[in-house]
A and B are shown apart, each in its own frame.
Chain A
């Protein structure tokens, strides 16, 4: 079994985890162009090298960040999302009044 180190639960079998996609900036859905939205939703760097991604430890429902090498299949580093995000991020709700944000 391949082992991943969960920042909350320690080393666990990789089968306990779910891949959640690249860590990337979401454009504001109300303001961005269709092309920018398509870029965000469908297009990908799909890089060969070290990538920074969201992962979920399913038994504990805990999301965290992993740095992983997509050629060697090595997990370089895993850490709590608070290491990267110091502030709460509020996403704009589509159609809501912008003044409220």
Chain B
């Protein structure tokens, strides 16, 4: 046995190391410069960049459950930038760039795996839309091209080229498409933030918001009241409920999104494959499990139950795409509650309350935005409300001026 291993085993603090990933729970202070509501990936990423780039460390992240236990832990981890609008592509491409370097930055392996994403077209209209997306993506530095059936067969030999009698005409091949461990992303940010002095308070629910003269002055929690210089709201599916406490409505409706995973099998599928016509996307994890998901539930709900309806429809489509999957067994089915906007773009920036900032409307697509979202929200907070150019198109007020950023076609079934 190597000597160092023996030494490690005999250390007095073994099996626990001296530097735990997160500090132990502490009392809430009376005041913080910044209160971040929601300890998902977005909340802790914002705290991390506030501490790292702006030296703002009197920050509390308040999480009603546990770190990353919301949609951050429930998503299927598709990372990509092949959207439709210039505003969208620029924003998500900046996020993909940050993701590519995140393991180094954290010195913590987030298992970033760049396998490419293939989206299938079954109609001429989709082929036309794909041409546009490929060009927009290339223009803003992404790697995307339109490929034909022969190349698709070579990339994914096990794919049924005529699923549900919808012939595969072409594919949008996005080489930057990737996946990563979502828990690792949340923990990496949380660890980096708390090491720099940020406080993460789990099991701490914000129950009310104090507003005076159009400014937020503090929040109430199940562990007492605190005052604060400003608030960042990053609560995903609960966005409308939190905003109601701050006194305004949002253009958001909360729908469940479900996904499922099979038992592991030998590696056979490298790229992430999706088809919007079939409302289905499929990928194989590094453990060999097949993960698949589809569109949102058919009606709004604040509940993470799974349904038989979705299981039946999604499995039928997945099996159309990969017929041999009919022999696999399902391990799990789960859901998250997602904050859907009508244009499938996020809501970031200012709110009707002066020092109350919004990070919401992430629906079914917000995991991939975690790094850039944290970075730009931190800039917004540190500057006292100067909106960074990259997120200006996503202001909530775009709905009042009818300037939506339409990403529905590029989002609905691929997330």
Contact = CB atoms under 8 A, between A and B. Distances in A.
Interface stretch (B116-124, B195-203, B295-303): B295-303
Contacts of A46: 240-241, 250, 252-254, 300
Nearest to A19: B299
A70 B305 CA distance: 12
Interface string B242-276: 00100001111110000000000000000000000
Contact of B303 (A35, A42, A51, A73): A73
Contacts of B302: 48, 70-71
A2 B309 contact: yes
Contacts of B250: 43-44, 46
Q: State which size class the interface on B falls in.
A: 20 to 34
Contacts of B66: none
A39 B248 CA distance: 11
A48 to B, nearest CB: 5
A59 B175 CA distance: 44
Main DSSP-derived SS at the B contact region: loop
Nearest to B238: A48
B309 A15 contact: yes
A38 interface: yes
Given A48-B241, A70-B302, A73-B301, A42 B309 contact: no
Contact of A43 (B249, B301, B307, B309): B249
A44 B253 contact: yes
A72 interface: yes
Contacts of A68: 299
Interface of B: 240-241, 244, 249-254, 298-303, 305, 307-309, 342, 399-402
Interface of A: 1-2, 14-15, 18-19, 34-35, 38-39, 42-48, 51, 68, 70-73
